[in-house]
Structure 1
C-alpha cells in the first residue's frame, strides 16, 4: 500500500473540472457544521492540495469486498467532491440534499458517485467525531 504522502502528491489529475475555490479553515468549519460531523484530516489534506476534482488514474477506483456491476473488485472513484459552491459542480455540501433525494441512510458524507453508486464516509457506527 502506498504511503499517504505519495498518494497526496499524485492524487489529482491535471484537470480543472470539478475544482472548488482553495479550501480555507472557515470553509471546513462551515462544512462540518452543515454536515454535523468532523471530517477526517487525511481528506482535508487532499482538499488543501486541490479542493475537489478529477482523481488521477492511479487512484481512480475504490476496492470492494464483493463483486459489483462495475467490477469483481471495485467501484469507480474518478472524482472527489470538494467543499464549496462553484456553480454546476457537486460538493460535499450537497450531501444533505443527495442523501434525501436518493433515500440514503444518515449520517453519510458523499465523496463521489452518481446516484446509482456512491463512495461515502459512513458515520452511523462511529458517531459524528469519526
Structure 2
C-alpha cells in the first residue's frame, strides 16, 4: 500500500502524536464530528506533508482548471492545525463554520 504521508516526521506541519481523547475534545470545541478517514490519517501521523501535491477537481480555481493544490494535511493541537480554523477564517474572510484542513 502506498503511503499518504511524505517521510518527514519533523516537518513544519507535523504535530505531536494525538490520542482519541484529544480528538474528541477537538471535535467538541469545533462543534463537528471529523470524518473517519481524517481521524485514521492523523492517528498514523498528526498532520504533515503528503506524498501527492494535487488532487483532481471539476471546478476551476486560481491554481488550475482541473485540480487543486494540496501538499499538506493539518493535524490537531491546541491553537495549531485545524484548531486554528476560527482565526484563519476571520483573517481570510471565509464563511464561518468551516474546519480548515489545508491552508
TM-score interval w.r.t. the shorter chain?
A: 0.7 to 0.9
2:81 alignment partner in structure 1? 91
Is 1:72 aligned with 2:69?
no
Give structure 1 stretches of 5+ with no counterpart.
1-5, 114-130
CA separation in 2, counterparts of 1:100 and 1:68?
21
Matched, 1:81 2:71: no
Establish whether residue 106 from structure 1 lines up as the match of residue 93 from structure 2.
no
C-alpha distance in 1 between matches for 2:97 and 2:15? 23
Indicate which of 41, 44, 54 corresponds to 1:49: 44
The counterpart of 1:29, out of the listed 16, 24, 27, is 24
CA RMSD for the aligned pairs?
Answer: 1.6
Q: Report the Cα distance in structure 1 between the residues aligned to 2:16 and 2:78, rounded to whole angstroms.
A: 9
Shift of 1:85: 3.8
Matched pairs, number: 101
Question: Structure 2, unaligned stretches of length 5 or more?
Answer: none
Tell me the CA shift for residue 101 of structure 1. Answer: 1.4
Superposed structure 1 runs of 4+ greater than 4 Å apart = none
